[in-house]
Amino acid sequence: MKDLVLYLAKSLVNHPDDVEVKEIQGETATILELRVAKDDLGRIIGKQGRTAKSIRTLLNAAASRTNRKVVLEIVEEQ
């Protein structure tokens, strides 16, 4: 799952070297924290959150094969 998010995010942004994905495993769910450059945050979220929603849909489709829940959090740097 982490590799899928990494691939998608790097394909969308202008600064692919700044993309980081942190994976936190739980008992039934996995949390993926996505960090990108501040300039690329809008590209990942998209208009009205459509791009972020699409990435989450792809993740849930891939996670359903393993009977796990995957949560994508887009972290905004302060």
Question: What value does the mean pLDDT take over residues 64-78?
Answer: 87
**In this predicted model, what pLDDT tens digit does every residue of 14-63 receive, in sequence order?**
999 999 999 999 888 899 999 999 999 999 999 999 999 999 999 999 98
Number of domains in the chain: 1
- CB-based contact 5:44 (threshold 8 Å): no
Distance CA 28, CA 70 (A): 9
Please give the residue range of the domain that contains residue 60: 2-75
- CB-based contact 57:4 (threshold 8 Å): no
Q: What pLDDT is recorded for position 33?
A: 95
Q: What pLDDT is recorded for position 66?
A: 84
- CB-based contact 5:46 (threshold 8 Å): no
Q: Is pLDDT of 78 > 60?
A: no
Question: What value does the mean pLDDT take over residues 56-77?
Answer: 90
Q: What is the CATH number of the domain that holds 16?
A: 3.30.300.20
